Amino acid sequence: MIRPEDIQSLSQRLGELLPAGVKEGGDGLRRNLRAAVSAQLDRLDLVTREEFDIQRAVLARSRTLLEQLSARVDELEAELARQRPDG
C-alpha cells in the first residue's frame, strides 16, 4: 500500500512542474492531481518492501535447493553410468 504522504509529495512535485497559468487552478487542481496520481498508483501491481524481501529470500532458498538437487542428480546419473555394463 502506498502511503498517503507519498502520494501527497508526488502530486505536489508534479504540480510544481505545471506552467504558471495552470497552477492558478488552486486547490481544485491539486485535489484532482492527487486523485489522479492515487488512482494510477492503485492500478499498478505493487508490493511492499517487506513482501519483496520475503519473496527474494524464498527465491534464494529455492535456488540453493535447486542447485543441490541438480548436483545430486548429476551424482546419481554418474553412479548409474558406472554401474551399467558397457554396451
- Domain residue extents for the chain: 1-46, 47-87
Separation between Cα atoms, residue 71 and residue 4, nearest integer Å: 49
The predicted model scores a pTM of: 0.50
Least confident of 3-7, 26-30, 76-80: 26-30
| Average pLDDT value for residue range 61-71 | 98
Q: What is the pLDDT of residue 25?
A: 63
Give me the pLDDT at residue 27, please: 65
In whole angstroms, what is the distance from residue 74 CA to residue 72 CA? Answer: 5
Output the pLDDT for position 5.
78
Distance CA 45, CA 52 (A): 12
Give the whole-angstrom CA distance, residue 69 versus residue 8: 49
Q: Say how many Å lie between the first and final Cα of the chain, rounded.
A: 63
